[in-house]
Amino acid sequence: MTDAARPATAGSVVQIFATGNGPLNPDGSTPVQVFFADTPAQVFYSAPLSQYPGLWQINAQVPAGVSGQVPLSIVAGNLASNGVTIYVQ
């Protein structure tokens, strides 16, 4: 969790937990894009958590040049998530 007192730092990897993942690849991963505002992030991991049915984990790196109170969104296929706020230092 990030907030104004504990912001993520540019270059760090954040874990995002969501529901409603899209279609899976044969290896069980889910192709997604993560955006911090309009800046795309590098996604290192994206797959459902088998021990928690319906829960999806995404690990993405906070892009350089992003700071402050930033909307984060996920795009899977052609569907975009609702935005959430993340704080970045």
* β pairing state of 79-80 and 55-61: unpaired
Answer yes or no: pTM beyond 0.75: yes
Give the pLDDT score at 22. 66
Would you place residue 27 in the very low, low, confident or very high pLDDT band (cuts 50, 70, 90)?
Answer: confident
Residue percentage of the chain with pLDDT more than 90: 61
Non-local CB neighbours of 77 within 8 Å, separated by 6+ positions: 22, 23, 31
Give the pLDDT score at 34. 97
